[in-house]
C-alpha cells in the first residue's frame, strides 16, 4: 500500500492578467503548500470486487461522492489509460480539506493519486506523461503534482520552481461556504493590475494581491469577515484569500500567535487548519 499526503495548496499571490478565448484566464501566481492536507492510499486490489474501488472517509467525506467523476477516480483512470496498466487498484481518500474552498483539495487529491500510482508502478515522477495527465485534469493539478513552491503562469500550469519559506507558521480559515471557481473567474472585472514584482518569496507575496478576492467576496461576503479577523490577529505577517476562496490564509511569526488566531476563528464556527509552509 502506498500512502501520499495531498497537501493544501495556497496562492500566496494570484494576479489575473487576461481573459482568454478558451474560457480560461492567464494568471500569475505564487503556489505554496502546507505540510498537511488530505491523505490518499493506493493498493493493488486483492479481489476483483475491489478493483477500481474508491472509498472516502474523514471529516469532509460527506461533501463528496465516490463516483467516477471524483478527481481521484478520474486521475486513476487517466493513469491506467496512459500507462496501459489495468485499473486494478483499490483507493481510499481521507478528506480533511473542505470541498470547493480554494485550497485545491480535489486537485491535490488527483495529484497525490498520480504520485501514489507512479510509486506503485516504479514510474519516475519526472515522466512527462504524468504532467500531461495532470494538466488535463485541472489548472491546479500540475502544481499539486510537483508540490513545491513555484511561480505559475498561463492557466497556472506553466511552472518554475522558486525558493520557498519552509516552516513559516500558516493558518487556513474557511467559513464553510463553498465557492465555485468558474463563477469567481466569471465575476472578475477584466482589469489587468500588473505582474507580481520580483524579489524574495514573502516580499513578492506581500507586494502582490489576489485579484479574485473582490469577486469572491461579492459572491460570499463572509470572506471579508475572515480577512478582517486574520488582519487584526497579533503576529500576522501576511493575510489573504487563497485561490478562488473562500479559504483565507495567514502567515505568522510564531506558532503561539497562530494558535491564538485559530481559537478566535473556531469560536466563530469557522474551520481552521494550523500548519506550516512546506
Ligand atoms: C483559482 C486557482 O485555484 C488558483 O490556483 C486555479 O486557477 C483554479 O484551478 P482549478 O480549480 O484546477 O481549475 P479548473 O478545474 O481547471 O477550472 C475550473 C474553472 O475555473 C476557470 N479558470 C480556471 C483556471 C484559470 N486559469 N482560468 C479560469 O478561468 C474556468 O472557468 C474553469 O472552467
Ligand atoms: N476528491 C475531490 N475533492 C474535492 N473536490 C472534488 C473531488 N473530486 C471532485 N471534486 C469536485 O471539484 C470541485 C472543486 O473542488 P476543490 O475542493 O478542488 O475546489 P477548490 O479547493 O476551490 O480548488 P481550487 O483551489 O483548485 O480552485 C467541487 O465541486 C467538487 O465536487
Average pLDDT, the chain: 97
Instruction: Please work out, in degrees rounded to the nearest 5, the angle formed at the alpha carbon of residue 202 by the alpha carbons of 97 and 150.
Output: 60
Quickly state the pLDDT bin for 161 (edges 50, 70, 90): very high
| Phi and psi, residue 118, nearest 5° | -65, -45
* pLDDT 10s digits, 162-218: 999 999 999 999 999 999 999 999 999 999 999 999 999 999 999 999 999 999 999
Chain centroid offset of residue 53 CA: 24
Torsional class of 20: left (φ above 0), alpha (ψ -120 to 50), beta (otherwise): beta
Active site members: 9, 140
**Residue-level length of the chain:** 278
**Stretch(es) of the chain classified as CATH 3.30.70.890:** 169-276
- Does pLDDT of 123 surpass 90? yes
Q: What pTM did the predictor assign?
A: 0.97
Asked whether 129 and 83 are in contact (CB, 8 A), the reply is yes
Place of cell 515522477: 125
CATH superfamily of 169-276: GHMP kinase, C-terminal domain (3.30.70.890)
pLDDT of residue 33: 98
Asked whether 242 and 143 are in contact (CB, 8 A), the reply is no
Q: Identify the three-state secondary structure at position 10.
A: strand
pLDDT of residue 68: 87
Average pLDDT of 266-278? 98
Beta-bridge partners for 42: 2, 91
Q: Which ligand is nearest to the CA of 8?
A: 2
Q: Is 55 annotated as a binding residue?
A: no
Q: Is 208 annotated as a binding residue?
A: no
pLDDT of residue 87: 83
**Stretch(es) of the chain classified as CATH 3.30.230.10:** 2-161
Residues with CB under 6 A from ligand 2: 64, 70-72, 93, 99-107, 109, 140, 181, 243-244
Identify how many contiguous H helices and E strands the chain contains and give both numbers: 9, 10
Report the percent of the chain where pLDDT is more than 70. 100
Average pLDDT of 126-151? 98
Asked whether 141 and 147 are in contact (CB, 8 A), the reply is no
Q: Does domain 2-161 have CATH number 3.30.230.10?
A: yes
pLDDT of residue 38: 98
* pLDDT 10s digits, 64-114: 999 989 999 999 999 999 999 988 999 999 999 999 999 999 999 999 999
Q: Which residue, 24, 18, 34, is CA-closest to 242?
A: 34
Q: Atom 13 of ligand 2 has which residue's CA nearest to it?
A: 100
Amino acid at each position: 500500500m502506498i500512502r501520499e499526503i495531498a497537501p493544501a495548496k495556497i496562492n500566496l499571490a494570484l494576479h489575473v492578467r487576461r481573459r482568454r478565448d478558451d474560457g480560461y484566464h492567464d494568471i500569475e501566481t505564487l503556489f505554496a503548500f502546507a505540510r498537511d492536507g488530505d491523505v490518499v492510499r493506493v493498493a493493488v486490489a486483492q479481489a476483483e470486487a475491489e478493483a477500481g474501488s474508491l472509498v472516502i472517509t474523514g471529516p469532509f467525506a460527506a461533501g463528496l461522492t465516490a463516483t467516477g467523476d471524483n478527481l481521484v477516480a478520474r486521475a486513476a483512470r487517466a493513469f491506467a489509460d496512459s500507462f496501459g496498466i489495468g485499473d486494478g487498484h483499490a483507493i481510499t481518500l481521507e478528506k480533511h480539506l473542505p470541498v470547493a474552498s480554494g485550497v485545491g483539495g480535489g486537485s491535490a487529491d488527483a495529484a497525490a493519486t498520480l504520485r501514489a500510482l507512479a510509486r506503485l508502478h516504479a514510474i519516475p515522477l519526472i515522466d512527462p506523461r504524468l504532467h500531461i495527465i495532470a494538466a488535463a485534469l485541472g489548472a491546479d493539478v500540475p502544481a499539486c503534482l510537483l508540490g513545491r513552491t513555484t511561480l505559475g503562469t498561463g492557466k497556472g500550469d506553466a511552472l518554475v520552481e522558486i525558493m520557498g519559506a519552509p516552516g513559516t507558521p500558516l493558518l487556513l480559515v474557511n467559513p464553510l461556504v463553498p465557492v465555485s471557481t468558474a463563477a469567481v473567474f466569471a465575476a472578475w472585472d477584466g482589469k489587468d493590475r500588473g505582474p507580481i514584482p520580483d524579489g524574495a518569496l514573502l516580499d513578492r507575496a506581500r507586494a502582490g494581491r489576489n485579484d479574485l478576492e473582490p469577486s469572491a467576496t461579492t459572491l460570499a461576503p463572509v470572506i471579508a469577515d475572515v480577512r478582517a479577523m486574520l488582519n487584526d490577529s497579533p503576529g500576522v505577517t501576511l493575510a489573504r484569500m487563497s485561490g478562488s476562496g473562500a479559504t483565507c490564509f495567514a502567515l505568522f511569526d510564531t506558532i503561539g500567535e497562530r494558535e491564538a488566531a485559530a481559537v478566535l476563528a473556531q469560536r466563530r464556527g469557522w474551520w481552521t487548519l494550523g500548519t506550516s509552509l512546506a
